[in-house]
Amino acid sequence: MVDMVLTIEVPSEFFFEFLEEHYITLLRKTIRQVMGTGAKLEYSILMDQNTSDVPYAVKVPSKNTGNLKNVPVHAPVNIGQNGIRNPFIIPGLQKVNIDSQLNPNYSFENFVEGDCNRLARSAGLAVAGKPGGTSFNPLLIYGGTGLGKTHLAQAIGIDIKTRFPGKTVLFVQSERFIQQFIDSVKNNSQNDFVNFYQMIDVLIIDDIQFLSGKDKTQDVFFHIFNHLHQSNKQLVLTCDKPPADLQGMEQRLLSRFKWGLSADLQVPDIETRIAILQKKLYHDGIELAPDIVEYIAYSITSNIRELEGSLVTILAQSTFNKKVISLDLAKQMIDKFVKNTSHEVSIDYIQKVVCDYFNLPLEVLKSKTRKREVVQARQIAMYFAKSLTKSSLSTIGINCGGKDHATVLHACRTVNNLIETDKKFRSSVNELQKKITINSK
């Protein structure tokens, strides 16, 4: 007697896996009752064939029909002649074989928390504790270059892998995602590309802004996004600006980016910069005098990448030339380093330049002392902070020893008056302005 076969037609591999995982018990019971124990179950998976208007189907036997006679157990399903293509060139379809592409150094343990990143880090920890189960889906982390977006995004992935070993986590740069999609078009394997990404439990895409202007890539990502989100899978995205400022991105994607939480990373304050340097020194087993660490932190204010780069430059100079790291050596190397990098003018940086010029410790500049030379240096720092930064008068006052906005206004008027009436003072101010702005272009 020829065994009877029940064929269920499904539109994609996802539906095949869903039925196998959630409804196989019911299917097995029903098949036994209606068709007998010799019956077989198979799925007909419809695929779009890119070179033809006619779809084709691939038949796949059920893998979980238990005691039903003559039902073979197969390896993970392969769609098409060559199986689903893994764009990361990793053999097999089993989720355990997918490399997460995560850098173990980018952990929460190595991520220094400060006022500049507290919201984003807290949201990241919440997502890591319950991926796909919080209102932070997607979690979009945005900020300027070198502020730790990639580090934080990967830390989320690493923490999820530690807490939930069975979940499939994947980190991918958006440029690589784009190239993989282009390759899939060339190879007529778009369905494999989509099916691969729909298997992921936690998808982390870095620098999502590079999808701007790429309509076809946005379209395929839109469908991947929808599938993952509707399946309660977690999405983590990084971007160099908030969604509202993205140009060349489809509105339907922008609206979905706003479904969850957008958390920004700001330029780290002086305390956070010092903590970052101390963390790196501790990790590398190196001791450095506090005044040298503070000098580096006050000199490099633009981003974390340049901050750590300047420290590496100083350590390399000391090691290769067998020199003891002194404050003078640090100053020499910092001066060379900043010539090749852009400086973002900040209140901290202005104060550092002014203190160096007048040979004053920073704590004296911020103190309550009324000594004439200190008051004048403090007023000059306030003057430049008002003219060269976007900080409010209140913010400038707080950072210059806890002064109020009226004191800042008075300082600016005083400096302007002295510039007009005192030639020596005007020369000093012009020289200071060159020092402050020469590396901010």
pLDDT band at residue 77 using 50, 70 and 90 as cut-offs = very low
Lowest-pLDDT range, 7-11, 123-127, 248-252?
Answer: 7-11
* For residue 48, pLDDT beyond 50: no
Q: Which domains does the chain have, with CATH numbers?
A: 1-83 (no CATH), 118-265 (3.40.50.300), 272-437 (1.10.1750.10)
Q: Is 274 left (phi over 0), alpha (psi -120 to 50) or beta?
A: alpha
**pLDDT for 50-72, tens place per residue?**
333 333 444 556 555 443 333 33
- Percentage above 90 pLDDT, the chain: 28
Ranking 89-93, 132-136, 237-241, 283-287 by mean pLDDT, the lowest is: 89-93
- For residue 40, the one-letter residue type is K
- Spatial distance between the Cα atoms of 340 and 410, rounded to a whole number of angstroms: 36
pLDDT tens per residue across span 390-415: 778 888 888 888 888 889 999 999 99
* Residue 432 Cα distances to 252, 354, 428, angstroms: 50, 7, 6
pTM greater than 0.85 = no
The residue-averaged pLDDT of 339-344 equals: 54
Residue 76: what pLDDT?
33
Rounded distance between C-alpha atoms, residue 212 and residue 218, angstroms: 8
DSSP code of 251? H
- Give the highest mean pLDDT range of 1-5, 38-42, 231-235, 353-357: 231-235
Going by the DSSP 8-state scheme, the letter that residue 4 receives in this structure is P
Average pLDDT over residues 216-236: 93
Mean pLDDT of 34-56: 60
Predicted pLDDT of residue 2: 57
Mean pLDDT for the stretch of residues 226-230: 92
Average pLDDT over residues 241-267: 87
CA distance 265 to 124: 12
Check the CA dihedral 250-254-259-263 and report its sign: positive
pLDDT score at 233: 94
Report the pLDDT averaged over residues 348-361.
88
Model confidence pLDDT, tens digit, residues 79-115? 333 345 566 653 333 444 578 889 998 999 989 888 8
Average pLDDT (135-164) is 93
